[in-house]
Amino acid sequence: METIGGTSPISRRALLGGAAAIAAGFGLAGCASTAQVRAVDPAYRRTVVAYQGREPPGTIVVDPANHFLYAVQPGGQAVRYGVGVGSEGFGWSGAATVHAKQEWPDWYPPKEMLARKPELVKYMAQLPSGLGMKGGPENPLGARAMYLYQGNKDTLYRIHGTNEPWTIGQNVSSGCIRLTNEDILDLYERTPVGAKVVVLAAHTA
């Protein structure tokens, strides 16, 4: 299969610049996690594959069981990306749409997460939309985020980048779908607001 080339350049420092600090200081069970720094498994590198599913071009299909996301293309092909997905008890499946997109997004942990992890509060600041963490290289949401809605309702799930690329291919989050920062840049440019997203059930994927 042909591997897709790079996208907009991000320095290694930007990709990993805050990972060690976050891993040590946050210990997040949400859209970030703790792990030893290591390279992404080659099996999860971005590549073009044949697609024989029923979804039309422009659709994003997430296969949590196998840790892949497919951006369906014309001509029976898809761009396949490796992803990190929700840990046990935090998985989500269903259909949604990309309601909004954000570059270097701020992160607003839900109240439930702050209740589970009260130690996170000291890392938060009062931002325009509430208590959160300013976007940037150290932010758990990485370089880009796409916000998933069902109708007018926010699912609270995101497709986003990560400053912890070694977690790709793992069940690590509270349901958010994470890609490397290089891959989220590529997917972000391919995906318009309004695009359909299908997250398969992990036990049937």
Q: pLDDT by residue (tens digit) across 75-122?
A: 999 999 999 998 754 578 899 999 999 999 999 988 888 898 899 888
Average pLDDT, the chain: 82
- The domain made up of 12-199 has a fold known as L,D-transpeptidase catalytic domain-like (2.40.440)
Q: Is 31 a catalytic residue?
A: no
Choose, from 31, 67, 160, 203, the residue flagged as catalytic. Answer: 160
Q: Is 160 a catalytic residue?
A: yes
Q: pLDDT by residue (tens digit) across 156-165?
A: 899 999 989 9
CB atoms within 10 A of CB 201: 12
Q: pLDDT by residue (tens digit) across 118-140?
A: 998 888 999 999 999 999 998 99
Torsion of CA 73, 77, 82, 88, to 10 degrees: 90
Domain range list for the chain:
12-199
Choose, from 31, 67, 99, 176, the residue flagged as catalytic. Answer: 176
